[in-house]
Chains A and B, each alone.
Chain A
Amino acid sequence: EVQLAESGGGLVQPGRSLRLSCVASGFIFDDYGMNWVRQVPGKGLEWVSGINWIGDRIGYAEHVKGRFTISRDNDKNSVYLQMNNLRPEDTALYYCAKGRGIHWGLAPMDHWGQGTLVIVSS
């Protein structure tokens, strides 16, 4: 059974940093691209970032470019999202999601974690 477990969320002040982690199990991790998607409670889904199977092709949504960094460690079956210079508008539930292919793009997300909540507030 595919499982994705996010952690690292919490309350953080504007301008500070946070690192999210997602540990995967139940599939061959380094065969798939991975994504982070966020959702403001009560609102829609917003793709944040994606990384391909080996970590050498990465994509970011425009509103997080230069502030967020995605990475992965295939030995630890984990994907990470380093979030710097956080803003109140980054407040959301952050989901880790597995892609259906080796790349993060050109493929939907067929498994999702339960999310970790990030609140950016002073």
Chain B
Amino acid sequence: EIVLTQSPGTLSLSPGERATLSCRASQSVDSSYLAWYQQKPGQAPRLLIYGASTRAPGIPDRFSGSGSGTDFTLTISRLEPEDFAVFYCQHCGSSSLTFGGGTKVEIK
């Protein structure tokens, strides 16, 4: 089973700053099957990015995804107040789906 490790655990930033979140896989994965989600307190997760770099419908272009092999990145170019949340990466395998442990982006 592929294990996803996200770092850092918590990112303290101010609105307007750039956020860079990392997701590292325990073995090389097809980037077609790497997704990112955002979850705000009391809400269900929301799909942000799939295929490592494709934004889901309605997702602002300040969110971008990149990476390949074992290293993937979610970047928020300029943080808006509503962006502060927990972010999860996910591998969509053929026999199981795995999530990373999450990165919390909090207001500094």
Binding site for B on A (CB under 8 A): 35, 37, 44-47, 50, 59, 61-62, 95, 100, 104-115
Q: Which residue of A lies closest to B44 (CB)?
A: A112
Complex Cα spacing A59 to B88, Å: 21
A-B contacts, 12 of them at CB < 8 A, read A44-B88, A45-B99, A46-B99, A50-B97, A59-B97, A62-B96, A95-B45, A105-B92, A108-B37, A108-B92, A109-B45, A112-B45
Binding site for A on B (CB under 8 A): 1, 32-33, 35, 37, 39, 44-47, 50, 56, 88, 90, 92-102
Given contacts A44-B99, A44-B102, A47-B97, contact A106 B33 (CB under 8 A): yes
Given contacts A44-B101, A45-B99, contact A115 B92 (CB under 8 A): no
Complex Cα spacing A114 to B98, Å: 20
Cβ contacts under 8 Å, B37 to chain A: 45, 108
Cβ contacts under 8 Å, B44 to chain A: 95, 112-115
